[in-house]
């Protein structure tokens, strides 16, 4: 019986080496190699990482310019800074179940589209309450793609490349943390941005527009 077991293991090993018979996940993903698809996947992941950082940290740059136009109190400013994270905490328990049920790719696509929608709505809001609602919903939605993205990328790479890919994603997040203050420095101080949206029904402050167009 022992000899038969050894022979069976040797036969399975030979089959795996020649691409014959069943294989575990790591063997299968290693056989696919690393090429153009993996580079494209990382290229697509870069704006996803940047969007995640922008969603969670934009308000801290916007508030100094918006506090006068919106007449923000200290409580309002604290709430606007925290409400995105409140949305993330509220939805944290949902996304593991949803990604396993409906698929990671679908959750990433629809999640980032919904987040972009809430950011556009926030950028055109002239009410503190409306901004809080849209930032909360943005945090509620972005928690899913943020968590799923790392797992999604790791599943397309073998052990040989996985740690390098995760390090690259970390670099993307670092780039986003440098890019956001650079954009804020270039956009928010400009007071000459004067344009009318929807026939002036959303207000007339160019500084307010330039501040909230970062969202």
Residue 34's pLDDT is 82
**Residue-level pLDDT, tens digit, the chain, 215 residues:** 445 555 556 665 655 555 555 667 677 777 777 888 888 988 989 998 998 899 888 888 888 877 777 888 888 888 888 999 999 999 888 888 888 888 888 899 999 999 999 999 988 888 889 989 999 999 999 988 888 888 888 888 887 888 888 899 899 999 999 999 898 888 877 766 656 665 555 544 445 545 544 55
Contact 107, 147 (CB under 8 A): no
- What pLDDT, on a 0 to 100 scale, did the predictor assign at position 116? 92
What per-residue confidence (pLDDT) applies to 206?
Answer: 45
* Residue 110 confidence (pLDDT): 92
d(CA 146, CA 149): 6
The pLDDT value given to residue 7: 56
Tokens 């804020």 — which residue?
184
- CA distance linking residue 31 with residue 152, whole number of Å: 18
- Cβ atoms within 10 Å, residue 131: 25
Q: Which pair of structure tokens corresponds to residue 22?
A: 């069943």
User: Domain spans of the chain?
Assistant: 1-31, 34-212
CATH superfamily of 34-212: MFS general substrate transporter like domains (1.20.1250.20)
């Amino acid at each position: 019986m022992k000899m038969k077991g050894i022979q069976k293991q040797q036969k399975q090993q030979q089959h795996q080496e020649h691409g014959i018979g069943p294989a575990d996940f790591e063997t299968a993903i290693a056989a696919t190699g690393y090429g153009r698809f993996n580079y494209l996947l990382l290229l697509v992941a870069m704006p996803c990482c940047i969007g995640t950082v922008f969603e969670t940290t934009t308000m801290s740059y916007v508030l100094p310019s918006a506090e006068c136009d919106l007449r923000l109190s200290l409580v309002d400013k604290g709430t606007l800074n925290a409400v995105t994270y409140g949305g993330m905490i509220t939805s944290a328990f949902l996304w593991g179940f949803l990604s396993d049920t409906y698929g990671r790719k679908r959750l990433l696509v629809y999640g980032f589209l919904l987040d972009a929608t809430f950011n556009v709505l926030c950028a055109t809001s002239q009410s503190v309450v409306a901004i809080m609602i849209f930032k909360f919903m943005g945090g509620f939605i972005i928690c899913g793609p943020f968590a799923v993205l790392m797992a999604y990328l790791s599943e397309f790479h073998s052990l040989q490349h996985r740690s390098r890919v995760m390090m690259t994603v970390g670099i993307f997040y670092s780039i986003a943390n440098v890019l956001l203050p650079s954009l804020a420095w270039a956009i928010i101080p400009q007071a000459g941005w004067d344009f009318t949206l929807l026939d002036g029904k959303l207000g007339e402050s160019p500084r307010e527009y330039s501040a909230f167009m970062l969202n």
